[in-house]
């Protein structure tokens, strides 16, 4: 396929060609209308001038007599210009004027006529016609005239030479043709430049997508400084590519972490099962082995459930999953539910919850996020120096968002690790001895992103304040 055929198949070039055709057609119609209107206006102006002169000559003849009329006709006919005049007697014989011969029908029947004529041309010494009977050069022309019969029976013919008008019409037509050709050439050039620039931007997007499909996920669509619609599209596509790259990187990390973190409990499961199957194992050994297998299985199930819930949150809520809920009631119920457990462990839970705060959210995910925050806070609430642990639960609302905070007075998290602990399976060294999978805060972070909010970990001095910020709208 030729290069032209490839280019013509693109929507950009075809749309550009369509717009050019519409523009050229409109320009031709507009210029044609202007030329036609100009010609009509000139004809109308000439007809008005002829009628005005005829009425003037008739008034002169009626008020001042035939002598005054003869002087007036002689004066205007001797002046250069497009005017043609003929004054004849009752029989139609020429008396005065710059038009010596008039067709008989013009003199017999008054009215408007157009015909070829000859007239003296004293200003043109190189006349193309032979001298007339009055002597001197003559020139040919085409006249539009009005003939009238005067009160004394004389014949008066007044008109205009239309050769100049036709010349002007020819100039209009020539200008029209030149303009049309210019418009077509200019439109083709402008359309070609526009199509080339558009195709260049589209080719950049296509080349980038080809590189990405080949496996180079770090490629991004180039941006310009024009900030046009292509830059807007490229910005959105780049943001989408960043998100996809992060998701794929997260998937790789999750796969690695699952393979690493689940290998140990699965190995323990196998060892316990193998120990229970030994012939020398007692009933007590077998019973303890089965209890261990059940406990390890429960932890594995919890881990996979957490992974599934995180994947569900990161995939986005299905249509209708976000409804109006009383988030104050959810936070209050969760704090009340964990209060007895905290009391048994010597931890005091205090609440400061603004009542009747409504939010468009997923009730199940918000509840699970509160469970994770409370369990995480209770796990690390006791100060390192001793003393009673404390967990503070608060909910406040401002004009734009709802702020849910769960704070403890435990050892806290170093500032360098506060962002890292939001990743899956990340557990700090001092947490290795505690049960858990390192997925709790990752789930809270995924819930925050699902609702268009954010999850941050702040210093509570001492301890940690985990803040879940969700937009009201």
The pLDDT, as a whole number, for residue 254 is 63
Q: Which strands, in side-by-side order, build the sheet including 94-97? A: 94-97, 83-88, 155-161, 138-149, 111-120
Q: What is the pLDDT of residue 403?
A: 92
The residue extents of the domains of the chain are 1-64+166-217, 78-161, 220-261, 319-471
The pLDDT of residue 432 is 44
Which whole-number Å values give the CA distances from 237 to 136, 217, 251, 275, 452, in the listed order? 86, 13, 21, 56, 19
Among residues 371, 333, 385, which one has the least CA distance to residue 468?
371
Phi, psi of 349 (to 5 degrees): -105, 120
Q: How many CB atoms lie within 10 A of CB 416?
A: 7
Q: What pLDDT score does 194 carry?
A: 73
Residue 126: per-residue pLDDT: 45
pLDDT of residue 469: 92
First to last CA, the chain: 54
Strands (E), 253-354: 323-326, 347-353
pLDDT by 10-residue block (mean), the chain, 473 residues: 59 74 81 79 84 88 86 86 85 83 85 79 49 52 85 86 71 76 79 74 82 81 80 86 79 65 72 76 77 78 69 60 87 91 88 90 86 86 74 90 90 78 62 56 84 88 89 80
Q: What is the pTM of this model?
A: 0.47
Q: Phi first, then psi: give them for residue 91, nearest 5 degrees.
A: -90, -5
Find out whether 428 and 379 touch, Cβ atoms under 8 Å: no
Residue 53: how many CB atoms within 10 A of its CB? 20
Helical (H) or strand (E) element with 401: strand 401-408
Q: Which CATH class is domain 319-471?
A: alpha beta
């Amino acid at each position: 396929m030729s290069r032209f055929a490839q280019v013509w198949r693109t929507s950009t070039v075809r749309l550009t060609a369509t717009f050019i055709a519409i523009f050229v057609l409109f320009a031709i119609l507009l210029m044609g209308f202007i030329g036609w209107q100009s010609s009509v206006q000139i004809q109308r102006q000439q007809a008005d001038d002829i009628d005005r002169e005829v009425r003037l000559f008739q008034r002169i003849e009626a008020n001042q007599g035939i002598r005054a009329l003869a002087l007036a006709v002689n004066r205007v006919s001797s002046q250069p210009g497009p005017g043609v005049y003929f004054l004849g007697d009752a029989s139609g014989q020429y008396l005065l004027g710059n038009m010596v011969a008039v067709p008989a029908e013009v003199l017999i029947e008054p009215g408007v006529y157009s015909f070829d004529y000859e007239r003296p041309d004293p200003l043109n010494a190189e006349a193309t016609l032979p001298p007339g009977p009055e002597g001197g050069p003559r020139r040919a022309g085409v006249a539009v005239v009005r003939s009238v019969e005067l009160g004394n029976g004389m014949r008066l013919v007044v008109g205009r030479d239309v050769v100049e008008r036709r010349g002007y019409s020819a100039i209009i037509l020539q200008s029209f043709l030149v303009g049309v050709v210019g418009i077509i050439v200019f439109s083709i050039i402008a359309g070609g430049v526009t199509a080339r620039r558009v195709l260049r931007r589209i080719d950049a997007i296509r080349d980038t997508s080809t590189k990405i499909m080949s496996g180079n996920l770090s490629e991004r669509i180039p941006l310009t400084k024009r900030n046009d619609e292509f830059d807007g599209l490229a910005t959105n596509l780049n943001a989408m590519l960043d998100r996809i790259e992060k998701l794929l990187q997260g998937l790789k990390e999750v796969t690695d972490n699952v393979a690493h973190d689940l290998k140990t409990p699965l190995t323990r499961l196998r060892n316990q099962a193998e120990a229970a199957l030994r012939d020398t194992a007692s009933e007590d050994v077998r019973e303890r082995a089965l209890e261990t297998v059940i406990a390890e299985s429960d932890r594995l199930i919890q881990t996979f459930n957490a992974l599934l819930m995180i994947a569900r949150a990161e995939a986005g809520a299905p249509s209708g999953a976000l409804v109006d809920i009383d988030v104050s009631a959810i936070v209050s119920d969760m704090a009340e539910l964990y209060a007895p457990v905290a009391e048994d462990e010597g931890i005091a839970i205090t609440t400061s919850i603004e009542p009747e705060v409504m939010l468009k959210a997923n009730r199940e995910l918000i509840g699970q996020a509160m469970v994770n925050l409370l369990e995480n806070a209770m796990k690390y609430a006791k100060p390192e120096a001793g003393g009673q642990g404390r967990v503070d639960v608060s909910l406040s609302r401002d004009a734009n968002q709802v702020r849910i905070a769960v704070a403890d007075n435990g050892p806290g998290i170093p500032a360098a690790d506060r962002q890292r602990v939001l990743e899956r399976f990340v557990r700090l060294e001092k947490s290795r001895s505690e049960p858990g999978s390192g997925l709790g805060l990752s789930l809270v972070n995924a819930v925050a992103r699902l609702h268009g909010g954010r999850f941050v970990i702040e210093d509570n001095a001492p301890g940690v304040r985990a803040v879940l910020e969700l937009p009201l709208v």
